[in-house]
């Protein structure tokens, strides 16, 4: 999973064909982590705490996901805004001679919030052949530039998880024929 997610940092607008294999590797890794973690925690806990442990496992996953999302979103935004100003402003100023800062900021805001049809309503883009497509492409490039940093941070989290996993104890003493509840 760590290799697949970390490798997604190579994504650009012109190499999507390379991403499919990496997405499969990352997805298989994620599936190989979620289910075993739930099973292991229920195997090693006392019988009377199985429901509590199962609920805690799910709650910890949700809380961890929320924390991760906050970290990833802040990393993404901190990288996207400068990249968007660079690429979108550059496209609008150099190709269409649009220097109105308000229009450029509006184009960046529209692109950042994925409301792309609104771009056609902006002066400097409206009625200019190719302007819409160029600004959309510039936004895609900015997104790709920013997203690689999210994958770098994800790789750091993954490295910490791998190190923590090296300190897991042996659970073989819990792997016996004990059954908590027999259903008839």
Q: What is the pLDDT of residue 137?
A: 94
Q: What is the pLDDT of residue 175?
A: 74
Cβ-contact 54, 42 below 8 angstroms: yes
Radius of gyration of the chain measured on its C-alpha atoms: 24
Integer Cα distance of 93 and 152 in angstroms:
31
Q: What is the pLDDT of residue 172?
A: 80
| pLDDT at residue 81 tops 80 | yes
Neighbours of 84 (CB within 10 A): 24
Q: What is the pLDDT of residue 83?
A: 96
Q: List, for residues 101-152, the tens digit of each pLDDT value.
A: 898 899 999 998 889 999 989 887 888 888 899 999 999 999 999 999 999 9
Prediction pTM value? 0.79
Average pLDDT, the chain: 88
Q: Supply the DSSP string of 69-126, one letter for each residue.
A: HHHHHHHHHHHHHHHHHHHHHHIIIIIH----HHHHHHHHHHHHTT-GGGGGGSTTTT
């Amino acid at each position: 999973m760590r290799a697949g997610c970390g490798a997604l940092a190579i994504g650009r607008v012109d190499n999507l064909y390379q991403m499919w294999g990496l997405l499969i590797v990352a997805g298989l890794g994620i599936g190989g982590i979620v289910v075993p973690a739930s099973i292991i925690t229920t195997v090693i806990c006392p019988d009377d705490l199985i429901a509590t442990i199962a609920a805690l496992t799910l709650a910890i996953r949700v809380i961890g996901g929320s924390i991760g999302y906050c970290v990833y979103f802040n990393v993404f935004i901190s990288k996207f805004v400068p990249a968007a100003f660079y690429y979108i402003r550059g496209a609008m100023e150099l190709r269409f001679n649009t220097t109105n800062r308000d229009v450029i900021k509006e184009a960046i805001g529209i692109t950042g919030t994925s409301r792309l049809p609104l771009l056609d309503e902006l002066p400097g883009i409206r009625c200019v052949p190719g302007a819409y497509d160029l600004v959309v492409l510039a936004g895609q490039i900015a997104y790709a530039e920013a997203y690689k940093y999210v994958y770098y941070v994800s790789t750091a989290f993954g490295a910490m998880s791998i190190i923590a996993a090296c300190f897991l104890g042996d659970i073989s003493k819990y792997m016996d024929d004990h059954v908590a509840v027999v259903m008839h």
